[in-house]
């Protein structure tokens, strides 16, 4: 298998003046999550950190001296891989302690290790999936429902959105309606059948999401969605789960 071309491990899409999306196109589609970068006035925010197969920081075009708040919406492998590269590491209360050890039982890293087609190009010469290990990234700030993440010109309220995983959180900018859903809600196949998923809890999360005043939603996987599309995704899930 070929090595991924230099500088192309991450695919970058500028969404608007504040938000940029990064993806890992050579990772198996099941584990190819969205990485969101939000430029703020006083601090920048990273929402999720990919697989950690290549260093993420060089792809981000960071401003020297400006703080970056690197946040994980939950501890699944495809959201926490590069968290260790950042000084400020934020994550959910429910799984907080586990960020210091990254156990397979919560990250599901073993599922990637055992894939035949884990990647379509190598992250580095001679790499094999058996080598895959998440680097521990102890949290420096533990997030709970209602916490506020302030970037200077905008702030996000933390929402606990369990179901897909017990520790899922989302972020809502209540002024603009900008919303990050993690894996609680996105516009692709939603997953509620992993060992730590809870369908009854997930349904409650969906009922809560119905009432959320979003303008645009950026999820852990798939394309972004507006309020109307979000209700369609919610209704489809609730219908399927009924």
CB of 78 to Zn ion, least distance (A): 7
Q: CB-wise, 123 or 163, nearer to Zn ion?
A: 163
Of 39, 76, 89, 221, the residue at the interface with Zn ion (CB under 5 A) is 76
Q: CA 229 → CA 13, 73, 176, 236, distances in Å?
A: 21, 21, 17, 11
Bridge pairing between strands 68-71 and 88-92: parallel
CB of 42 to Zn ion, least distance (A): 30
Q: CB-wise, 30 or 150, nearer to Zn ion?
A: 30
User: How far apart (Å, rounded) are the C-alpha atoms in residues 228 and 166?
Assistant: 26
Segment contacting Zn ion (CB under 5 A): 3-11, 68-76, 128-136, 231-239?
68-76
Retrieve residue 97's tokens: 């302690």
Retrieve residue 242's tokens: 């009924």
Q: CB-wise, 160 or 183, nearer to Zn ion?
A: 183
173 is a site residue for Zn ion (CB under 5 A) = no
160 is a site residue for Zn ion (CB under 5 A) = no
Residues 6 or more apart from 33 whose CB is under 8 A from it? 23, 24, 48, 50, 51, 78, 79, 183, 220, 221
CB of 121 to Zn ion, least distance (A): 23
Of 94, 160, 183, 187, the residue at the interface with Zn ion (CB under 5 A) is 183
Q: CA 85 → CA 6, 45, 168, 238, distances in Å?
A: 20, 14, 21, 38
CB of 154 to Zn ion, least distance (A): 25
Size of the site for Zn ion (CB under 5 A): 2
Q: Which residues bind Zn ion (CB under 5 A)?
A: 76, 183
């Amino acid at each position: 298998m070929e090595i991924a071309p230099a500088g192309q491990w991450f695919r970058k899409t500028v969404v608007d003046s504040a938000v940029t999306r990064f993806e890992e196109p050579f990772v198996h589609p099941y584990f190819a999550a969205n990485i969101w970068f939000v430029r703020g006035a006083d601090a920048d925010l990273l929402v999720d950190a990919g697989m950690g197969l290549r260093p993420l920081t060089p792809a981000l075009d960071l401003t020297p001296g400006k703080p970056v708040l690197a946040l994980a919406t939950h501890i699944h492998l495809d959201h926490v891989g590069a968290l260790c590269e950042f000084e400020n590491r934020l994550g959910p209360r429910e799984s907080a302690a586990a960020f210091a050890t990254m156990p397979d039982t919560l990250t599901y890293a073993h599922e990637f290790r055992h894939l035949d087609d884990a990647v379509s190009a190598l992250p580095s010469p001679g790499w094999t999936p058996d080598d895959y290990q998440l680097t521990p990234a102890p949290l420096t700030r533990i997030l709970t429902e209602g916490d506020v993440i302030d970037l200077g010109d905008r702030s996000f309220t933390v929402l606990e959105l369990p179901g897909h995983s017990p520790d899922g959180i989302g972020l809502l900018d209540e002024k603009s309606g900008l919303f990050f859903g993690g894996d609680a809600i996105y516009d692709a196949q939603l997953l509620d059948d992993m060992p730590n998923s809870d369908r009854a809890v997930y349904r409650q999360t969906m009922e809560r999401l119905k009432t959320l005043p979003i303008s645009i939603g950026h999820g852990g996987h798939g394309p972004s969605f507006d309020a109307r599309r979000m209700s369609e995704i919610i209704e489809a899930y609730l219908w399927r789960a009924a």
